Amino acid sequence: MVALSAPHETRWGFTQFPAYSPMPDGSILLIYADAEDASDTHGEPAPSFTSSDEGKTWTPLHSDLVPARPHFSVSPVYDGEFLVVPSLHYFNVKEQDVALPEPVAESFVYGPLYTYRVREIDPKVFSYFSQLDARRWRPSTGKWEDEKVAYDSEDLLAWRRKDSDLLPRAFFERPVLKHKGELLYADYRVRYAMPDGHIPSKGGTDLMASDDNGHSFKHRATVAVDRAGDDLYGEPALEETADGGLICVLRKSDHEQKPLVMNLSSDAGHTWSEPEVLAEFGVFPFIIRLPSGPLVVSYGRPGVWIKINEDGLGKNWSEPICIIEGDHNEVGLHTCGYTGMHVLGPRSFLLTYSDFDHRTAEGVPHKAILSRRIDLE
């Protein structure tokens, strides 16, 4: 157990959404959220712990790097550097006295959602979307330094919720993937108009690529999108397959239970296969490839589960292995279902998840953030 809530905590967003990251000193970072699951809480400091003994013990983080909620990731990039693109307080159109044009699309994702072309809004909105705040750690200095990451703004779309003045933007909630000399990131928090002019109204996932070690990212391709606007295709998890291809695992729906899906690419993400079902349900999947070859995917809601692909090609998966069973009638009762993993060895890794019914010795229920070592036979 890494963290424990107050007794009888039931509020959604508190003591959940855990995630690991590797740190420059070789330790493991674990952060989680402790606030309402809403856009206006993004960018605030998140509870953070580190482990220097492969997850056996955890202590509070003491660093000039301040992780931010709701999700946070430290990415090892090339040349021994580490990159962070954190969440922040989003652009407020009312406070900045910015008038929005008519939306170019409308949809429903946990409520009405409106989409706009970034280039049709005030220039300071364009700057906000195209220059992301970041921090980079370099071996030459041994410290974290602020910088800006240039993010592709051609055909970029912005969105906001009904009755909200906030314009959310990209932040790296998963580690970027080092792949054949590039850095790749699967992003669903921003969206792009498609080459034929189609506007993804509900979302989708796009692949961003960097050839300069994360100083800039260009839009490469759409991984998955539902042109009818029924399915989300969000919360992507990206990994390299054993044959040098790519696999992207995606949450398909928002408020409904629908299958967890995957897409494959054999050309560095320029083109993608059609979505295929990986599991019967799932939110916020996480995927890793172990040094000995297997792919492991974790997911949840209801419960927490993992599946294994032994050959690392991403096509033939094991039956689901249960960590927390959950309840299909009350999917958020036992856990938030968001998971994270961290590779330890050839066939071993850490898995983190939330347990909403963790009992003390006296039988008092709490929410808990758990970290568990798993070794494959």
Q: Which one-letter amino acid corresponds to residue 73?
A: S
The per-residue pLDDT for 364 is 96
Each residue's pLDDT tens digit, 314-348:
999 999 999 999 999 999 999 999 999 999 999 99
For the chain, percent of residues with pLDDT exceeding 90: 93
The per-residue pLDDT for 203 is 82
The per-residue pLDDT for 110 is 85
The per-residue pLDDT for 229 is 84
Distance, CA of 250 to CA of 150 (rounded, Å):
25
Q: Which one-letter amino acid corresponds to residue 71?
A: H
- Quick one: fold of 3-375? Neuraminidase (2.120.10)
- State the greatest distance between any 2 C-alpha atoms of the chain, in Å, as a whole number: 61
CB count within 10 Å of CB 274 equals 8
Whole-angstrom CA distances from 301 to 115, 126, 165, 266, 306 are 28, 36, 30, 30, 12
Q: What is the chain's mean pLDDT, rounded?
A: 96
Distance, CA of 227 to CA of 198 (rounded, Å):
8
The per-residue pLDDT for 323 is 97
Q: Are 114 and 103 in contact (CB under 8 A)?
A: yes
Identify the band that residue 69 occupies on the pLDDT scale cut at 50, 70 and 90.
very high
Each residue's pLDDT tens digit, 38-48:
999 999 999 99
What DSSP string describes 9-50?
---TTEEEEEEEEE-TTS-EEEEEEES-SSGGGTTSB--EEE
The per-residue pLDDT for 256 is 81
Q: State the average pLDDT over residues 178-186.
A: 98
282 sits in the region (left: phi over 0; alpha: psi -120 to 50; else beta) called left
Q: Which of 372, 308, 375 is nearest to 335 (CA)?
A: 372
The per-residue pLDDT for 243 is 97
The per-residue pLDDT for 9 is 96
The per-residue pLDDT for 57 is 98
Q: Which of 36, 33, 11, 38 is nearest to 164 (CA)?
A: 38
Each residue's pLDDT tens digit, 211-263:
999 999 999 999 999 998 888 999 999 999 999 999 999 999 877 889 999 99
Does residue 91 carry a pLDDT above 90? yes
What DSSP string describes 151-188?
E--TTEEEEEETT--EE------SPPEEETTEEEEEE-
Does residue 306 carry a pLDDT above 80? yes
pTM here is: 0.96
The per-residue pLDDT for 108 is 87
| Residue 22: cis peptide before it, omega within 30 degrees of 0 | no
Does residue 171 carry a pLDDT above 90? yes
Boundaries of every domain in the chain: 3-375
The per-residue pLDDT for 165 is 96
